[in-house]
Structure 1
């Protein structure tokens, strides 16, 4: 029997979302239950334990993540103007590594977060803006922020290790190049830090704004919940099947722009397939001219791009990984295309 206070993972098989998953109790303070106990998670999953199972003590804050809110939420920072006319955008980012997220019904995972969420906030600036990020590491491990894009060597997030328990560092650089870029912790082992959730999206807009569109961000992620070196769950924006149970509502004949960033580790490739229409694809978003007109794009880890499309007909259209394993383990969703005169639907669930 393990002693109180030991840190460990307990894996219990459970059936949810139409597939077999794993209930994972991440590293935390734990106590042994002397008698069988039943408790209900906030998603409604019923878990029964015995005296041989160590149950988590819920004194560590649980993370609630809303993929619908995240989809269209952009952080433009605190904006001011310097004497030379340069726009300054200031952001505050806090890293933590003691949070618990129920990433699927009954499936708990120890997430490491930027500003309490996975992915971290979508940081947005215009090319040429001065970006200043006040970073605090409130975690128990060392962390950094590494941005893909242009910046001085001392702002690269590789050698400027930020110590645990309140360490601080200020990143400052001119936003560029135009496009969509990931940011992530770059402390070794990088796979562990990214795998637990320390990543987000950085959008740099061109000075001449892109055409008006319904814009959204999709981060493709995966979770190795039993730590065997293979992902058990996949998703667009963290929660498996979320957009299949809660389709994304869009209008016919309206330009849709999706910033896609693939942060799945452990698998060499991922992809994005769209039903019912094709999209203009801009790799990394650094060019204003699309390179492809397609319905399928393949990504390696940290590879990203911008998808632009319109739907002519109303109805439900699927988007998903065209890798059967990924789509059957959560990376699948729906667009609900309606006429602009139709009101948004409040509740719908098309199941998995």
Structure 2
């Protein structure tokens, strides 16, 4: 049965996320937007534990309060934002594999909110989809999420209520599940990438208190013109406000890249060889050594890269491209005692992208192209004009008219994804499940098995993916350029024998996209 979903096509101004070191205790109401943070030391590797600052929540029970604030995004540019715990991004939640966790969400905003645990295979009732798994949390009310953190990796959380707007305002943070055996690195940094709009109505609005109530960003719709995003940020900051990342010679360093925005970014690490060790939190088998390559990270995706700090100095990690805004998306990796100015930016240099379809080493996998599947499904993704508006379609239909994928527990499903749009990328995100990428543009993958929950299709690209129906519920499968999702590019994965006790409240204002 179809869920009762409402959509708005709108455009907005920006979100981000800042995360790094580790500590325990409550972050409620704390403004850490100006803090400088150092990396997490793995106590299993060294007793020389690094001093940590309260920017990461650890433990098993957490409190997140959604409220409005203002944050300096770029030098001299303070923007109104919506926050978790008074910061964009919200605090990093860092837990251990196998732990049962509880997150208490309190809404102090003038609009309803939820939390979706992006990439985490939570029980369906904890997925945070208003009108599908829960009613949106009303102003002044609370909701508690409880689930077991089974699968280690790099994930993130964000509102899924009117998400095209609420993410852009800043309602998200990172969520890290550490493996039982430890992280195995000396420094562990998280870089959350995003884009903001510095000009226009949003930059002059007071988004605090009742002034945001009932505000409709659709009045700023520019026909999905993404050039309006003219500030690119790392952890909520742009340009000289971006914090430095300290290392010592000999450190093993992990950098977790999370794209919380609506544009792809081409990330280049200067001065070091590195490996891509995971994508969407799932490990790459025997990753190869890279140098002077860019890692292309699309909306909703995550990539972990690792390197040995063996080249003392100050080295950039930065976005590459011809857009002037890329100049703001760069940070310095600083060796202790290194003199300043030892690296020069060249963000316009055209470097080779890492091809994940040929990266790493083959190994046993769960699925093959040739095996028999319970169900096969084709998703033709496209863009067209209907009734004078741009819409984004799956098999010629917009949600809620799209045909769902109907499954039963234990089914194996092969999905053929085709991007027929002439100029739009479509990063497709499946809730509640991981899928294996089997082929790209008709060619079987040559390297490591690639397991993901978000896969970007550039115009003209085709992929075949496969997954097992092993997490009963009603789930979304949608484009994570949320402008496209809000304009129709959504379908559902529905378990036919799943019985939900959820009842949608028609007065809750549920807006799952």
Which digits, 9 at most, give the CA deviation of each residue in 1:206-250, with x for residues without a partner? 122231321111101111233555211001111102466x53221
| Conserved? CA contact 1:241–1:332, under 8 Å | yes
- CA–CA distance in 1 between the matches of 2:71 and 2:81? 6
Aligned counterpart, 2:246: 249
Matched, 1:146 2:128: no
| Conserved? CA contact 2:97–2:150, under 8 Å | yes
Matched, 1:91 2:59: no
Shift of 1:70: 7.8
Matched, 1:177 2:151: yes
Shift of 1:336: 1.7
* Equivalence map 1:125-140=2 (5 Å): 125-140=95-110
Shift of 1:349: 12
| Conserved? CA contact 1:114–1:198, under 8 Å | yes
Shift of 1:277: 1.0
- CA–CA distance in 2 between the matches of 1:223 and 1:215? 26
Shift of 1:290: 5.1
SS of residue matched to 2:58: coil
- CA–CA distance in 2 between the matches of 1:311 and 1:350? 15
- CA–CA distance in 1 between the matches of 2:191 and 2:101? 23
- CA–CA distance in 2 between the matches of 1:179 and 1:250? 22
Matched, 1:272 2:267: yes
Q: 1:318 aligns with which of 316, 319, 331?
A: 316
* Equivalence map 1:20-39=2 (5 Å): none
Aligned counterpart, 1:51: none
- CA–CA distance in 2 between the matches of 1:241 and 1:284? 27
Which digits, 9 at most, give the CA deviation of each residue in 1:139-195, with x for residues without a partner? 00110000021111111100223433311100001113211011100012x121111
Shift of 1:66: 2.6
* Equivalence map 1:12-23=2 (5 Å): none
Shift of 1:333: 1.7
Q: 1:215 aligns with which of 188, 191, 198?
A: 188
TM-score of the superposed pair, with normalisation by structure 2: 0.49
Aligned counterpart, 2:49: none
- CA–CA distance in 1 between the matches of 2:295 and 2:238? 20
Taking a change above 3 Å as real, the CA distance of residues 131 and 178 of structure 1, as seen in their structure-2 partners, is same
Aligned counterpart, 2:170: 197
| Conserved? CA contact 2:314–2:343, under 8 Å | no
Matched, 1:114 2:84: yes
Deviates most, 191-200 or 103-112:
103-112
Taking a change above 3 Å as real, the CA distance of residues 350 and 256 of structure 1, as seen in their structure-2 partners, is closer
| Conserved? CA contact 2:185–2:254, under 8 Å | no
Shift of 1:138: 0.7
* Equivalence map 1:298-309=2 (5 Å): 298-309=296-307
Taking a change above 3 Å as real, the CA distance of residues 226 and 212 of structure 1, as seen in their structure-2 partners, is same
SS of residue matched to 2:328: coil
Shift of 1:288: 6.5
Taking a change above 3 Å as real, the CA distance of residues 328 and 261 of structure 1, as seen in their structure-2 partners, is closer
| Conserved? CA contact 1:135–1:168, under 8 Å | yes
Aligned counterpart, 1:333: 331
- CA–CA distance in 1 between the matches of 2:177 and 2:312? 32
| Conserved? CA contact 2:113–2:136, under 8 Å | yes
Q: Please, which runs of 5 or more residues in structure 1 have no aligned partner? A: 1-23, 25-60, 78-88
- CA–CA distance in 2 between the matches of 1:222 and 1:71? 24
Shift of 1:67: 5.3
| Conserved? CA contact 2:258–2:303, under 8 Å | yes
TM-score of the superposed pair, with normalisation by structure 1: 0.70
Shift of 1:63: 5.8
Q: 2:260 aligns with which of 259, 263, 266?
A: 263
Matched, 1:66 2:25: no
Aligned counterpart, 2:135: 161
